[in-house]
Amino acid sequence: MNNLSDFNCELAFITDECRKYIKYGKAADYIPVLAKADVNKLGVYIISKDNEYFYGDYDDLFTIQSIIKPLILLLALQDAGVERVRSLVGVEATGKPFDTFNYTDLALKSEHINPMINAGAIALCTLIKGSTFQEKTNRLLDFTRKLAKNDSIEIDTTVYLSEKATGNKNRALAYMLNAYKMINEDVEELLDCYFGACSIKVNCKDLANIAFALAHCLPNEIINEDDARFVNAILSTCGMYDGSGEFALNVGVPAKSGVGGGIMAVVPFRMGIGVFSPALDEKGNSVAGKKILETISKKMQLSIF
């Protein structure tokens, strides 16, 4: 199948077939609130130039978590420029978990981190314009609303407080960045910005709209093509944590996952896809969500490789 014609029934069949993979995952438990997620939820939303298709729990809300990272990168590129961004983070995959902090025996340098792991995203929050970190958070929230075409998007205060209370590994990362003089900020205020941004509530359609904007299917005034190309390149190599290589082989499109269960997939110049299923594999990626994207990619020949 090479187009989206009459795809609703096919999408329903694919989603129901992939439901069986839920049993191989579990909800994230390092953030207490996320451990309460209903792992049986499963939804998908596809937006192309001409059509929208959806099935399952596509309108259920969940927190964006790490899917905010490409938006942090985009806003940092717009606010500070590519040279300043490149001076703070590298572009190479680390091959390590998203929250690792044992990077090297030598001094930490920008090339040791990328924008899709926690340390890189935390560092990039410092480049977002705003006289306070609350203003930076508000700008990220507003940016998310614009890209998702949804003014009702809000921050989940319960999740934010849960992350703030238990996010000691992220505190270690932020203090490490400070120790190696990569940032010079109040760590707790910086983390408030990051935790708040990760706690933004979205649904599958929101993710599909964001991905559609990144796919640059239509001219838009929010993201320029150079920034979209930069972000999509990083997503292709780093967006699915340390499972990015396998995802590139099996699905073959730029994507970003989050431990809330979402995956945002970008098919350049063709479509945006949002998937939700909170049962995660050991690397923090939605198990059934990956299978849905793999099946759709094979049927529609979406791989860019």
Q: Are residues 251 and 215 in the same domain?
A: yes
Catalytic residue from among 21, 45, 58, 69: 69
Residues 158 and 54 in one domain: no
The parent domain of residue 216 ranges over 8-64+201-300
What is the average pLDDT across 55-66?
Answer: 98
- Catalytic residue, candidates 44, 53, 58, 66: 66
Per the prediction, the chain carries an average pLDDT of 93
pTM of this prediction? 0.94
**Residues 92 and 54 both lie in one domain:** no
Element (H, E) at 202: strand 201-202
pLDDT digits (tens, 9 = 90+) for 72-116: 999 999 999 999 999 999 998 876 655 565 555 556 788 889 999
Judge if 176 and 210 occupy the same domain: no
Q: Does 241 qualify as catalytic in the annotation?
A: yes
- Catalytic choice (53, 55, 58, 241): 241
- Region 211-218: mean pLDDT is 89
Domain boundary among 198, 227, 250: 198
169 and 90 in a common domain = yes
Tell me the angle at which helices 133-148 and 204-215 cross, rounded to the nearest 10 degrees. Answer: 90
Cα angle 300-277-293, degrees, rounded to a multiple of 5: 15
* 55/78 same-domain check: no
Q: Which of 198, 223, 252 is the last residue of a domain?
A: 198
> Per the domain annotation, does 248 fall within a domain?
yes
pLDDT category of residue 171 using cuts at 50, 70 and 90: very high
H helices of the chain, in order, are: 8-18, 69-80, 82-88, 118-124, 133-148, 157-166, 168-179, 187-198, 204-215, 225-238, 244-250, 287-300
* Active-site hit among 146, 194, 256, 287: 194
Domain boundary among 165, 198, 231: 198
Least confident of 92-96, 102-106, 127-131, 279-283: 102-106
| Per-residue confidence (pLDDT) for residue 16, from 0 to 100 | 97
Q: Is 55 a catalytic residue?
A: no
Concerning whether 259 is annotated as a catalytic residue, the answer is yes
- Looking at residues 282-294, what average pLDDT do you find? 97
Query: pLDDT category, 2, cuts 50, 70, 90?
Result: very low
Q: Could you tell me which of 304, 296, 215 has the C-alpha nearest to residue 2?
A: 296
Question: What per-residue confidence (pLDDT) applies to 264?
Answer: 98
For residue 76, with 0-12 CB atoms within 10 Å meaning exposed, 13-18 middle and 19 or more buried, which class applies? buried
191-209 per-position pLDDT tens digit? 999 999 999 999 999 999 9
The active-site residue out of 251, 259, 275, 287 is 259
- The answer to whether position 60 is within a domain reads yes
Query: Residue 191's domain is classified under what CATH number?
Result: 3.40.710.10
| Rounded Cα distance, 57 and 214, in Å | 23
Query: Are residues 140 and 47 located together in one domain of the fold?
Result: no
Q: Is residue 3, in this structure, part of any structural domain at all? A: no
